[in-house]
Amino acid sequence: MRRKLVEHLQGKGITDTAVLEAIGRVPRHLFIDDTAFLNKAYDDHAFPIGCGQTISQPYTVAFQSELLRSSKGMKVLEVGTGSGYQCAVLCELGLKVVSIERHRPLYLLTKSRMRDLGYKASLHHGDGYKGVEREAPFDRIIVTCGAPEVPIALLAQLKPGGRAVIPVGLGEVQRMVVIEKDMSGHCKEMDKGAFRFVPMLA
């Protein structure tokens, strides 16, 4: 089922082999608690994970991971841990992952799940709009909820030469924004299309 999912993602235009291999290794069925959705765990859909939140669609996870253009050993901040699925994909890419989640029950559930599965990410509970100051700076930043605007604190916590992938926009649909920070600290934004995310919470 996982192999089929990887082939499906290739068919949709994902070419980064490291990303495809990482997705091929993560047991997505172990990130879905609601047994009603278990037999669809490798379908290319988002599913409810409690607290009104969703595990991201595999295509979105693949697309954002590809846009990150990360390399092994980089330190990455994820905003919106949720189920931990995207976090696990980042771990499989060999990244040092710091992830923050707003909902305490989700944070606690995912913390024990990641421990059980042997994923060594540094998980935090709090408002990711402010980033994670004490673990900054980051080579890469990925936001997995729709931000009303590019959070200034996140840009401040991005290393010169770093890259951030942030869905930006109020309402149902967001623009996938890629931000590159050059060595002098100047940021350039690029638009990579329309996506749907659950909103970033205050």
- Return the active site residues: 56
Does 123 bind ligand SAH (CB under 6 A)? Our answer is no
Using DSSP, state whether 193 is helix, strand or coil: strand
Residue from 72, 81, 87, 89 nearest 24 by CA? 89
Q: Is the peptide bond before 148 cis (omega within 30 degrees of 0)?
A: no
Binding range to ligand SAH, per CB under 6 A, among 18-26, 68-76, 165-173, 193-201: 193-201
Tell me the closest approach of the beta carbon of residue 131 to ligand SAH, in angstroms.
10
Distance CA 73, CA 61 (A): 19
Binding mask 128-147 for ligand SAH (x = CB under 6 A): xx--------------xx--
Taking the least distance from each CB to ligand SAH, the nearer of 171 and 188 is 171
Which residues lie near ligand SAH (CB under 6 A)? 53-56, 79-80, 82-83, 85-86, 100-103, 106, 127-129, 144-145, 198, 200-201
